[in-house]
């Protein structure tokens, strides 16, 4: 039997003065949660300093999935770089494609055709629903409920079928390219998409009945991991995590892109429990609010898509002469609303066809930063609750 | 393995036609089982003393308590045996292990007694052993007939609230005091 | 052999011993023979298996009682009349020789000089308790093995249906009926792995602390009036003790693994079990107070007068205690929503993290067997045990012939009813598991100490008053009590029908969950 001492792993110590061999008052344990752990959603490693079931401190360690995604952008042409953006946030490939495409279009002044814009919106919202479905399903899994996961994935499969019909890929689409979209929609796609929306909307009620308003689930998530609006702004939180704190901030409304200004939709925000069907005990900015904002956003996405499908007209789907376009010696920074938050791309051109610098601002990366702030003096079971409610994708955090 | 255990259990509870639910007293099987189980008690008790690892001590203690429970079953004192298992093996001992896990710096710690304590413990043990031996030698052993051995729980219950009411209530009060004290101590920590 | 040199020491290719090869060959053979047959006639095989096992059990009971009445009791009569009738052989020590049995069967008072028939030789071993024990042991052991294997398969099917998928479908053909045995064989043949830093002795011992108590619980669990391995006068306490000891395995396994997640799992189990044993035991005391006995056989026997005599419907306190007991029993079996010791999303796999292969399988056997035992306790203590909802005195007109007894064993009371009710409880446990999220540790303890414990105390006190009032013999009270009992019975009936209706509705609408979007190919694409 090996004698285990904590001194043998000094790099894990978060606060040296509190974990000492001679200290008999605090019986603290350093636990590695991840990189191989069922609820870290990939290869996140969180070092927990625990006292029994209490987690005193949690420190996320990232970088296990680093693939030099930004550096690659400096050696390939923009349209060649689109597939790499898929692999950042692999749950929401369409939105990543869109962000980079818009950045290059703004830099080069490319005008995107109307039909392409509509298709982009449809695809982005479909992918937002797919991404939120993954978030909800895995959040149920984090809470120990297995069934919501398969129910959500059942509907996500249909969205992936739609994507597959449009672009041939089910995960890494590379569908939205610089200047438009890669292919036109196949025959019957619009009708099928409408059929899906009709099928999908009642399912949201099912999710609510199964998970959202489940008493145990509300007890597990309400008032857990509360983030105030000030903290959220100070840490640069975006997306559902920010809106759950009561800040009505959505780039689709604030700085519309790809024609989002034409659509009529609301921005759901988190609110205290007791009104509007929100269960009692819920506090603005807790895990339940973050979860429920995603549910509400799916409804809004359906609304946007219905409008976009109605306004879809025949026309070109791609701007002309964008392959091999020379980037001007200028710089641009564009942020769009990704399912997880604000995804920004900074691109600097130097007159050649290859960017001089590409930099991404990932919403998961920024949202993850608040982990160690929120995961203080909580129970061990709350750590997956908080991490899951932030909905991070490690492919994008590590890039 | 489980065959052996089931056989032991079946012998302990006696043949189905047996009204008292015990093996026939004085039978060979009962004697053999008694010596096996008694040996188990002795070995486990020694294990508690000899083991250096605190959780292994607890396991030895568990087997000792469980063997004593089996002895109760052999004596047809089913209720006492079952209660022994619930209270000591299933409750107290688990709390003990739980406490060890919670309070020790590292659960993999080894327990070594200082020499002085060893000597003192040996003296006390030898003294106790000798006095026990004298007691055993002097005691007048009367054999209990079967009817009283297999007391039904109704009898136990009546006895507890009539004849032995005062000690029963005293035990309750003592436990209450312990609970209040524990709650008080747990509260002070915050 | 790999053609590349690897920097670590390569383990030699394991050579399979005779036993392993034999198991594999046997399993393959059975599988090859059984699969086409089962795939062809699943329903008839299932039905005939149930009928055959019922018949087998019934035939044994009949045989035992026949030997008891026709041989042993008669021998006692003869022995009482003439102490020297059997000479050297006395029924109490060495049993009756076949010749004596033949004489007794022939009904002849003169014992000596009869030549025993074949029947006498066949009946000879049955007179010994040991033989009967062996038969009963075989039955219990088989049941103890069948329950986990097929409940695991069933759980996967139920989970699949709830999650709008199919569950195991391949192994063995018909609905993956051979999935669990195949998994079992795989687990047995897996590498025997113990972490280097683990306390290897305790690590090896821990699964046995789980499997032995859960097997021993079957010793005292009655399946019917006569279908008890050992009738223990404190059977209830004994089974509770066995369920309580099982905790030790989790704690030891968690600790011995030398893994922090495992230790967490062990500590959670210790917390949860020590806490929930109390409300569970107190909830079970409510029917005990109603009946006045700890003997499960006796408790089952007093509920023989049909649905309204079942203890859950005797008084309102017992009805609530039934629900309380069910919740506490979930915690005691570490089933969801109380599956904190192995909480996957929090503790990787809790105390099971380092376990694999056979030891892991033992833990699962113990868990599913304990689920059955807990369901059996609920059945006996609250839902009439082995009695059917039909009052047993309705069958008084059937007479006492063998066939009437058999019919009564199916219609009014018998192991089949007990097993059906246990299966109902198992299904409830599965249903709950695949629907609800997991509770947090502080909420588990809060629910126990602040909700269930005071509630069960009130229930115990209330039922004591109720029993006291009932025994006072007040006529008005008796009328009120019987009305309350009827109302409770009807509520219970409504619950039962509601359960069946919901399950049936879900089963009937199972295909609609998938929708046609996935299946239809896109036109024109």
Q: Does B188 touch chain A (CB under 8 A)?
A: no
C-alpha pair distances (Å), B177 with each of A337, B96, B121, B171, B186? 62, 19, 30, 10, 14
Inter-chain CB proximity C248 and B153 less than 8 Å? no
- Chains with 3 or more CB pairs closer than 8 angstroms to A? B, C
Inter-chain CB proximity A1 and B102 less than 8 Å? no
pLDDT band with cut points at 50, 70 and 90 for residue B104: low
Beta bridge partners of A335: A344
Phi, psi of A63 (to 5 degrees): 110, 5
- In sequence order, the 6+-apart residues with CB closer than 8 A to the CB of C1 are none
Could you tell me the residue ranges of all domains in chain B? 2-128, 163-190
**pLDDT score of A54 more than 90:** no
Q: Tell me the shortest Cα–Cα distance from B115 to chain A, in angstroms.
A: 23
The predicted model gives C71-86 an average pLDDT of 68
- Residue C225's nearest CA partner among C286, C282, C298, C159 is C298
- Residue B22's nearest CA partner among B68, B78, B61, B63 is B78
Higher pLDDT, residue C110 or C370: C370
Percentage of chain C surpassing pLDDT 90?
6
Inter-chain CB proximity A146 and C163 less than 8 Å? yes
Among A215-229, B149-163, B175-189, C53-67, the minimum mean pLDDT is found in B149-163
Q: Does A38 touch chain C (CB under 8 A)?
A: yes
Task: Answer for the pair C453, C278: CB distance below 8 angstroms, yes or no.
Answer: yes
Among A244-253, B56-65, C340-349, the minimum mean pLDDT is found in C340-349
Q: Tell me the shortest Cα–Cα distance from A26 to chain B, in angstroms.
A: 9
**pLDDT score of A130 more than 90:** yes
**pLDDT score of C109 more than 70:** no
Predicted local distance difference test score (pLDDT) of residue C516: 47
Gap between the Cα atoms of C243 and B61, Å rounded: 19
Q: Tell me the shortest Cα–Cα distance from B157 to chain C, in angstroms.
A: 11
Predicted local distance difference test score (pLDDT) of residue C261: 86
The predicted model gives A151-161 an average pLDDT of 88
Q: What is the pLDDT of residues C319-364, one digit of tens each?
A: 899 999 999 999 888 887 888 888 777 888 888 888 888 889 999 8
* Fold observed for domain A69-369: Cytochrome-c3 Hydrogenase; chain B (1.10.645)
Task: Answer for the pair A356, A73: CB distance below 8 angstroms, yes or no.
Answer: no
Inter-chain CB proximity C270 and B154 less than 8 Å? no
- In sequence order, the 6+-apart residues with CB closer than 8 A to the CB of B126 are none
The predicted model gives C222-232 an average pLDDT of 81
Other residues' Cβ atoms within 10 Å of the Cβ of residue A321: 9
Q: How many CA atoms lie within 13 A of C301 on its CB side?
A: 10
Predicted local distance difference test score (pLDDT) of residue B111: 65
Which of B52, B105, B188, B189 to probe by mutation at the A interface, max A CB count within 10 Å? Answer: B105
For B2-128, give the CATH class.
mainly alpha
Q: Tell me the shortest Cα–Cα distance from B114 to chain C, in angstroms.
A: 25
Percentage of chain B surpassing pLDDT 90?
14
**pLDDT score of C244 more than 80:** yes
Q: What is the pLDDT of residues A2-22, one digit of tens each?
A: 444 444 344 444 444 444 443
CA A300 vs. chain centroid, Å, equals 17
pTM: 0.83
Task: Answer for the pair A247, A229: CB distance below 8 angstroms, yes or no.
Answer: yes
Beta bridge partners of A60: A46
Higher pLDDT, residue A26 or B100: B100
Inter-chain CB proximity C440 and A31 less than 8 Å? no
Across the interface, which of A1, A27, A52 has its CB nearest the CB of B105? Answer: A27
Predicted local distance difference test score (pLDDT) of residue C523: 42
Chain C residues lying within 8 Å of A186, measured CB to CB: 522, 524-525
Inter-chain CB proximity A384 and C443 less than 8 Å? no
Inter-chain CB proximity C440 and A150 less than 8 Å? no
Chain A residues lying within 8 Å of B52, measured CB to CB: none
Gap between the Cα atoms of A81 and A69, Å rounded: 9
CB pairs A-C closer than 8 Å? 120
Query: Residues 115..144 of A with a Cβ closer than 8 Å to C: which?
Result: 140-144
The predicted model gives A34-41 an average pLDDT of 79
Inter-chain CB proximity A3 and B106 less than 8 Å? yes
Chain C residues lying within 8 Å of B101, measured CB to CB: 251, 255, 263, 266-267, 270
Q: Does B106 touch chain A (CB under 8 A)?
A: yes
Chain B residues lying within 8 Å of A52, measured CB to CB: 102
Gap between the Cα atoms of B153 and B155, Å rounded: 5
DSSP C488-519: HHHHHHHHHHHHHHHHHHHHHTGGGGT-STTT
**pLDDT score of B4 more than 70:** no
Helix (H) or strand (E) holding A358: strand A357-361
Q: What is the CA radius of gyration of chain C?
A: 27
Chain C residues lying within 8 Å of A217, measured CB to CB: 437
Q: What is the CA radius of gyration of chain B?
A: 20
The predicted model gives A132-161 an average pLDDT of 89
pLDDT band with cut points at 50, 70 and 90 for residue C379: very high
Predicted local distance difference test score (pLDDT) of residue B37: 87
Gap between the Cα atoms of A162 and A164, Å rounded: 5
pLDDT band with cut points at 50, 70 and 90 for residue C85: low
Inter-chain CB proximity C517 and A380 less than 8 Å? no
pLDDT band with cut points at 50, 70 and 90 for residue A293: very high
Minimal-distance CA residue of chain B relative to A51: B102
C-alpha pair distances (Å), A355 with each of A22, A57, A350, C380, C500? 57, 41, 7, 76, 66
Inter-chain CB proximity A210 and C435 less than 8 Å? yes
Inter-chain CB proximity A27 and B53 less than 8 Å? no
ipTM of the assembly? 0.80
Could you tell me the residue ranges of all domains in chain A? 6-61, 69-369
Q: What is the pLDDT of residues C52-66, one digit of tens each?
A: 888 888 778 778 877
């Amino acid at each position: 039997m090996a004698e285990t001492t904590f001194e043998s792993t000094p790099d894990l110590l978060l606060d040296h003065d509190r974990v000492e061999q001679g200290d008999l008052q605090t019986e603290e344990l350093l636990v590695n949660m991840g990189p191989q752990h069922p609820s870290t959603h990939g290869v996140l490693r969180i070092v927990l300093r625990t006292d029994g079931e209490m987690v005193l401190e949690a420190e996320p360690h990232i970088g296990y999935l680093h693939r030099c995604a930004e550096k690659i952008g400096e050696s390939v042409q923009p349209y060649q770089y689109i597939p790499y953006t898929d692999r950042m946030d692999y749950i929401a490939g369409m939105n990543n494609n869109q962000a980079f495409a818009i950045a290059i279009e703004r830099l080069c002044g490319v005008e995107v055709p109307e039909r392409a814009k509509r298709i982009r919106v449809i695809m982005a919202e479909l992918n937002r629903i797919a991404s939120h479905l993954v978030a909800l399903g895995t959040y149920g899994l984090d809470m120990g409920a297995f069934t919501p996961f398969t129910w959500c994935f059942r509907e996500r499969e249909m969205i992936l079928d739609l994507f597959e019909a449009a672009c041939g890929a089910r995960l890494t689409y590379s569908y939205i390219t610089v200047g438009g979209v890669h292919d036109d929609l196949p025959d019957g796609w619009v009708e099928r998409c409408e059929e899906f929306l009709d099928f999908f909307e009642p399912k949201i009620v099912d999710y609510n009945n199964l998970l959202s308003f489940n008493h145990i689930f509300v007890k597990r998530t309400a008032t857990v991991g509360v983030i105030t609006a000030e903290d959220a702004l100070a840490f640069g939180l975006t997306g559902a995590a920010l809106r759950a704190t009561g800040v009505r901030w959505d780039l689709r409304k604030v700085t519309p892109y790809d024609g989002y200004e034409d659509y009529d939709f609301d921005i759901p925000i988190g609110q205290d429990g007791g009104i509007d069907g929100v269960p009692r005990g819920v506090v603005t900015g807790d895990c339940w609010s973050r979860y429920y904002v995603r549910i509400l956003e799916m409804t809004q996405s359906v609304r946007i898509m219905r409008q976009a499908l109605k306004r879809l007209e025949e026309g070109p789907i791609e701007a002309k002469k964008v392959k091999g376009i020379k980037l001007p010696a200028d710089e641009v920074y564009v942020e769009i609303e990704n399912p997880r938050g604000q995804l920004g791309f900074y691109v600097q051109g130097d007159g050649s066809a290859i960017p001089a610098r590409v930099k991404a601002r990932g919403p998961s990366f920024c949202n993850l930063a608040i982990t160690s702030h929120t995961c203080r003096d909580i129970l061990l079971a709350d750590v997956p609750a908080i991490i899951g409610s932030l909905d991070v994708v490690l492919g994008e955090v590590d890039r | 393995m489980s065959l052996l255990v089931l056989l032991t259990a079946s012998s302990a509870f006696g043949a189905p036609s047996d009204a008292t639910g015990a093996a026939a007293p004085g039978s060979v099987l009962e004697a053999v089982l008694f010596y096996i189980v008694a040996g188990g008690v002795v070995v486990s008790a020694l294990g508690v003393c000899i083991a250096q690892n605190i959780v292994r001590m607890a396991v030895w203690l568990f087997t000792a308590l469980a063997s004593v429970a089996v002895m109760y079953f052999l004596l047809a004192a089913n209720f006492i045996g079952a209660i022994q298992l619930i209270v000591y093996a299933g409750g107290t001992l688990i709390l003990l292990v739980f406490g060890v896990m919670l309070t020790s710096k590292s659960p993999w710690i080894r327990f070594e007694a200082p020499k002085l304590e060893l000597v003192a413990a040996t003296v006390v043990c030898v003294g106790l052993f000798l006095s026990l031996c004298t007691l055993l030698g002097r005691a007048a052993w009367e054999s209990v007939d079967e009817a009283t051995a297999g007391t039904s729980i109704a009898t136990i219950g009546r006895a507890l609230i009539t004849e032995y009411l005062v000690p029963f209530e005293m035990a309750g009060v003592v436990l209450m005091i312990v609970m209040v004290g524990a709650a008080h101590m747990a509260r002070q920590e915050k | 052999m790999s053609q590349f040199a690897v920097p670590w020491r390569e383990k030699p290719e394991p050579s399979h011993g005779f036993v392993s090869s034999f198991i594999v060959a046997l399993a393959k053979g059975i599988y090859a023979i059984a699969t086409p047959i089962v795939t062809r006639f699943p329903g008839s095989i299932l039905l005939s298996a149930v009928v055959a096992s019922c018949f087998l059990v019934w035939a044994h009971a009949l045989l035992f009682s026949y030997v008891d009445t026709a041989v042993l009791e008669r021998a006692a009569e003869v022995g009482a009349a003439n102490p020297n009738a059997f000479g050297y052989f006395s029924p109490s020590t060495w049993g009756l020789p076949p010749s004596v049995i033949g004489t007794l069967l022939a009904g002849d008072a003169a014992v000596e000089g009869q030549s025993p028939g074949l029947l006498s030789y066949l009946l000879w071993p049955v007179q010994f308790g040991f033989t009967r024990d062996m038969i009963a042991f075989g039955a219990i052991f088989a049941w103890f093995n069948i329950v986990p294997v097929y409940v695991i398969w069933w759980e996967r099917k139920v989970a699949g249906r709830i999650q709008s998928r199919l569950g195991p479908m391949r192994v063995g053909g018909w609905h993956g009926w051979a999935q669990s045995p195949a998994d079992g064989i795989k687990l047995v043949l897996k590498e025997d792995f113990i972490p280097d830093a683990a306390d290897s002795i305790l690590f090896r011992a821990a699964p046995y602390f789980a499997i032995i108590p859960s097997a021993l619980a079957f010793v005292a669990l009655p399946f019917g009036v006569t279908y008890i391995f050992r009738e223990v006068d404190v059977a209830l306490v004994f089974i509770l003790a066995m369920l309580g000891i099982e905790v030790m395995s989790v704690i030891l396994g968690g600790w011995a693994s030398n893994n922090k997640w495992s230790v967490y799992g062990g500590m959670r189990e210790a917390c949860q079990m020590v806490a929930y044993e109390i409300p569970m035991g107190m909830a079970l005391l409510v029917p005990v107070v109603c009946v006045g006995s700890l003997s499960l056989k006796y408790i089952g026997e007093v509920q023989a007068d049909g649905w309204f005599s079942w203890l859950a419907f005797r008084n309102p306190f017992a009805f609530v205690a039934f629900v309380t007991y069910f919740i506490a029993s979930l915690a005691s079996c570490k089933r969801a929503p109380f599956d904190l010791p192995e909480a996957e999303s929090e503790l990787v796999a809790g105390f099971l993290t380092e376990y694999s292969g056979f030891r892991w399988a033992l833990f699962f056997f113990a868990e599913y067997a304990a689920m059955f035992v807990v369901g059996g306790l609920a059945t006996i203590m609250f839902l009439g045990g082995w009695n059917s909802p039909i009052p047993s005195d309705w069958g008084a007109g059937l007479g006492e012939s063998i066939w009437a007894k058999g019919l009564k064993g199916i219609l009014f009371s018998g192991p089949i009813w007990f097993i059906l009710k246990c299966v109902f409880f198992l299904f409830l446990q599965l249903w709950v598991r695949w629907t609800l999220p997991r509770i947090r540790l502080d909420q588990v303890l809060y629910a126990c100490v602040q909700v269930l414990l005071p509630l069960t105390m009130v229930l115990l006190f209330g039922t004591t008053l109720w029993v006291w009032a009932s025994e006072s013999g007040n006529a008005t009270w008796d009328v009120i009590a019987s009305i309350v009992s009827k109302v409770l019975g009807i509520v219970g009936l409504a619950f039962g029908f509601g359960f069946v209706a919901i399950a049936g509705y879900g089963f009937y609408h199972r295909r609609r969950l998938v929708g046609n979007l996935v299946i239809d190919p896109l036109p024109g694409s």
